[in-house]
């Protein structure tokens, strides 16, 4: 899974002193440099105006497709819907076998086995949300049982939500310990499911809090930090993602461990996706331009990427009804 997952980079191994008490953890998190709100928003906006050449655009679209966590998280999800989504994940454009598959299919824990079976040996990961998604408001035993159920069913990745209430109240050690416990619940024979930590940035109120939550999640052993559940507005935004990309870059400089980033919710067009890829390259660096280290949480983005891909290849759009709207 890349350099961040080598032995010797056990998460948390450098942070024992910092996480020894609530006060030492608070001192560390509040000692992080403050985020210049205007600067972050201007930088994100200026990166969003970059134009890229057609050849680079074709490459970027295929890269973006390969980074999609194709997601269905509805109360009305059925096994049939999950099987259809899995088929689309394997062959996003049935008419063009050169189109890459997506990175993962993301479902509720009770749909993991269905997705796992449908994806077979395709190499596409199954991601499962857990820990009382999307609110994160449940007893710790419930959250851990939720996680273990997903892992037992075969989830390759677990997308957990932090307790935003505890974080906003300044109970940082509680949030840290919760992430550590969920990470331990991801263990299974022969390895562990990768842990993606959802911060629900739309509820964190400030960019400083986004930076603190990013560091807290990485210190607790997150393999990925993720903006949002997709159930709260605002979801992913370029400035928030920029702050998270700075955090993973700085964290690697300090610890040698790479952590991935996943913006989710509200990214619907190829144009948006390419803006994010430009930002990844500029802020974190080209090492992150890989599905192992950057994902898009999306349900409708894939269709637009496929339409733009067809247009680049043929010079014309296939109508939106050409690609399934699941």
Residue 196 among the catalytic residues:
no
Q: Which long-range contacts (CB under 8 A, 24 or more apart) does 320-326 make?
A: 323/93, 324/84, 324/88, 325/300, 326/72, 326/81, 326/84, 326/85, 326/88, 326/299
Counting every residue written for the chain, the total comes to 326
Q: Is 134 helix (H, G, I), strand (E, B) or coil?
A: coil
Q: Is 157 helix (H, G, I), strand (E, B) or coil?
A: strand
Residue 275 among the catalytic residues:
no
Contact 155, 109 (CB under 8 A): yes
Question: How crowded is residue 85: how many other Cβ atoms within 10 Å of its Cβ?
Answer: 26
* Annotated catalytic residue within 88, 116, 143, 262: 262
* Annotated catalytic residue within 156, 159, 163, 287: 159
Residue 226 among the catalytic residues:
yes
Contact 135, 161 (CB under 8 A): yes
Q: How far apart are CA 281 and CA 39, in angstroms?
A: 18
Contact 112, 151 (CB under 8 A): no
Half-sphere exposure of 36 (CA within 13 A, CB side): 6
**Do you find a cis peptide bond into 136, omega within 30 degrees of 0?**
no
Q: Using only C-alpha atoms, what is the Rg of the chain?
A: 19
User: Checking DSSP bridges between strand 194-198 and strand 191-192, what pairing results, if any?
Assistant: unpaired
* Annotated catalytic residue within 116, 196, 226, 275: 226
Contact 77, 111 (CB under 8 A): yes
Backbone angles phi, psi at 126, to 5 degrees: -105, 120
Q: How far apart are CA 164 and CA 228, in angstroms?
A: 12
Q: Active-site positions? A: 159, 226, 262
């Amino acid at each position: 899974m890349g350099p961040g997952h080598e032995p010797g980079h056990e998460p948390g191994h450098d942070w024992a002193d910092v996480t020894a008490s609530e006060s030492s953890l608070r001192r560390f998190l509040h000692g992080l440099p403050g985020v210049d709100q205007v600067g972050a928003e201007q930088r994100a906006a200026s990166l969003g105006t970059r134009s890229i050449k057609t050849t680079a655009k074709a490459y970027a679209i295929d890269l973006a497709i390969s980074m999609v966590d194709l997601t269905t998280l509805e109360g009305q999800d059925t096994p049939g819907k999950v099987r259809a989504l899995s088929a689309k994940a394997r062959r996003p454009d049935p008419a063009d076998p050169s189109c890459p598959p997506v990175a993962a299919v993301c479902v509720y824990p009770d749909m993991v086995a269905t997705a796992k079976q449908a994806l077979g040996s395709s190499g596409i990961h199954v991601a499962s949300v857990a820990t009382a998604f999307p609110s994160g408001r449940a007893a710790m035993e419930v959250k851990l049982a939720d996680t273990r159920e997903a892992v037992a069913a075969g989830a390759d990745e677990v997308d957990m939500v932090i307790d935003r209430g505890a974080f906003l109240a300044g109970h940082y050690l509680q949030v840290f310990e919760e992430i550590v416990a969920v990470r331990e619940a991801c263990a299974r024979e022969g390895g562990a499911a990768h842990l993606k930590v959802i911060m629900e940035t739309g509820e964190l109120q400030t960019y400083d809090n986004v930076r603190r939550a990013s560091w807290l999640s990485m210190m607790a052993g997150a393999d990925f930090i993720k903006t949002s559940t997709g159930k709260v507005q605002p979801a992913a935004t370029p400035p928030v993602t920029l702050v998270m990309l700075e955090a993973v870059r700085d964290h690697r400089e300090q610890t040698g461990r790479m952590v991935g980033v996943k913006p989710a919710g509200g990214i619907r067009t190829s144009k948006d996706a390419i803006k994010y890829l430009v930002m990844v390259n500029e802020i974190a660096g080209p090492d992150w331009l890989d599905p192992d280290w950057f994902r898009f949480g999306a349900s409708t983005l894939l269709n637009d990427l496929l339409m733009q891909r067809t247009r680049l290849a043929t010079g014309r759009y296939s109508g939106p009804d050409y690609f399934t709207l699941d």
